[in-house]
């Protein structure tokens, strides 16, 4: 396949450019359907005149359906998209990025999607789609799946679809609420995943950050003990990786703590743990839920984080604990490789 692509690049470069353009159009319609032509034109940075011609071609081929509500991909278009996906990874250089990152970061499996989630929200949805595909590959009936919060994990939940393998699973939040927007909290995301999958879920009704006295009291409550035991039994853990200062501000941390993060050059946060560029743990917040120490060999850990702004955070966290699977985007992948150089 790669030999054929190399030959085409030399003899028919225009053909490959057209194929990539039409693939991107199908891809975006699939993620954002139904979508209007003007919105599609703006997001793909194509003129409406050029896009009109491409959409007409795709419609005539039976790959796209055009209606008053917007454009959507047909069943035939869906099949073609899935057939093209693997080849496009090679053509866009994503497969090469994956292999390099696996070697550089010591991660068993890296999945790179096209784009930059710092600039385009649809890239988070594509990372979400990749995460759901990976979850369906590894999950077993009646598994417990623990999920963290955040905007990226909220995008993962949006991409969930019913599947027989997932129907008997139980989704749980990996930690309590963050006191941020409800839709980005672990409780909400675990419930959304379960609802879309037709599966079960349990919630953890406790604050994320509490005093030592409150912690000692809460963990003894029977209802809290039961859900914590279930969370710790999770076979799969899905989490994001945050920029340290952004996460501290989101949690309304006091200025003295933010000053500490600045002094110690914190760049990454995950599970309430803060890390510097060398991957050294510089602070651990007291939280109720899953701890990094709980991520033993019996758990499959999927990290989902993208955007060039997250590259330092991803690199730092992976030095501390490489995940089983890292799902990221093209911009973060390229920045990560530059950091490693």
Query: Could you tell me which CATH number the domain at 94-338 has?
Result: 3.40.50.1360
* pLDDT (0 to 100) of residue 257: 83
* pLDDT (0 to 100) of residue 8: 62
Extents of the domains making up the chain: 1-92, 94-338
Query: Is 1-92 CATH 1.10.1060.10?
Result: no
Q: What is the pLDDT along the chain (341 residues), one digit of tens a residue?
A: 566 656 666 655 677 788 888 888 998 898 888 898 888 888 888 888 888 899 999 999 999 999 988 999 999 999 998 888 888 888 888 999 999 999 999 999 999 999 899 988 889 999 999 999 999 999 998 999 999 999 999 999 999 999 988 999 999 999 876 555 677 899 999 999 999 999 999 998 877 666 667 767 777 788 888 999 999 999 999 999 999 988 888 877 778 888 888 899 999 999 989 999 999 999 888 778 888 888 877 899 999 999 999 999 999 999 998 899 999 999 999 999 998 65
Nearest to 270 by CA among 320, 230, 333: 320
**Domains 1-92 and 94-338 fall in the same CATH topology:** no
For residue 143, give every residue at least 6 positions away whose Cβ sits within 8 Å of its Cβ, in sequence order, or none: 169, 170, 234, 235, 236
33-38 long-range contacts, CB within 8 A, separation 24+: 33/70, 33/71, 33/72, 33/73, 34/67, 34/69, 34/70, 34/71, 34/72, 35/70, 35/71, 35/72, 36/70, 36/71, 37/71
Taking the model in full, what pTM does it have? 0.87
* pLDDT (0 to 100) of residue 137: 94
């Amino acid at each position: 396949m790669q030999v054929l692509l190399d030959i085409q690049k030399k003899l028919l470069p225009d053909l490959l450019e057209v194929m990539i353009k039409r693939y991107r159009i199908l891809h975006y319609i699939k993620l954002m359907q139904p979508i209007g032509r003007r919105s599609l034109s703006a997001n793909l940075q194509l003129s409406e005149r050029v896009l009109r011609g491409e959409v007409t071609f795709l419609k005539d081929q039976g790959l796209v359906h055009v209606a008053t509500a917007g454009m959507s991909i047909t069943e035939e278009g869906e099949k073609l998209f899935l057939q093209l996906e693997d080849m496009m990874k090679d053509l866009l250089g994503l497969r090469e990025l994956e292999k390099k990152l696996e070697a550089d970061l010591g991660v068993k499996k890296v999945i790179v999607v096209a784009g930059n989630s710092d600039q385009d929200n649809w890239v988070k949805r594509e990372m979400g789609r990749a995460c759901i595909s990976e979850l369906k590959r590894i999950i077993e009936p009646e598994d417990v799946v623990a999920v963290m919060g955040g905007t990226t994990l909220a995008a993962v939940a949006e991409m969930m679809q019913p599947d027989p393998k997932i129907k008997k699973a139980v989704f749980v939040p990996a930690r309590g609420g963050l006191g941020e927007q409800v839709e980005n909290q672990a409780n909400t995301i675990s419930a959304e995943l379960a609802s879309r999958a037709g599966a079960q879920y349990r919630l953890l009704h406790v604050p994320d950050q509490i005093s030592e006295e409150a912690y000692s009291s809460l963990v003894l409550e029977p209802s809290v003990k039961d859900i914590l035991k279930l969370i710790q039994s999770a076979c799969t853990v899905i989490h994001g990786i945050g920029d340290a200062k952004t996460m501290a501000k989101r949690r309304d941390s006091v200025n003295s703590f933010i000053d500490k993060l600045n002094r110690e050059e914190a760049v990454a946060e995950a599970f309430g743990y803060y890390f510097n560029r060398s991957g050294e743990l510089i602070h651990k917040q007291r939280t109720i839920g899953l701890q990094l120490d709980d991520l033993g060999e019996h758990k499959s850990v999927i990290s989902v984080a993208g955007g060039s702004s997250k590259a330092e955070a991803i690199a730092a966290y992976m030095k501390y604990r490489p995940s089983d699977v890292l799902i990221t985007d093209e911009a973060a992948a390229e920045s990560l490789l530059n950091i490693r150089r």
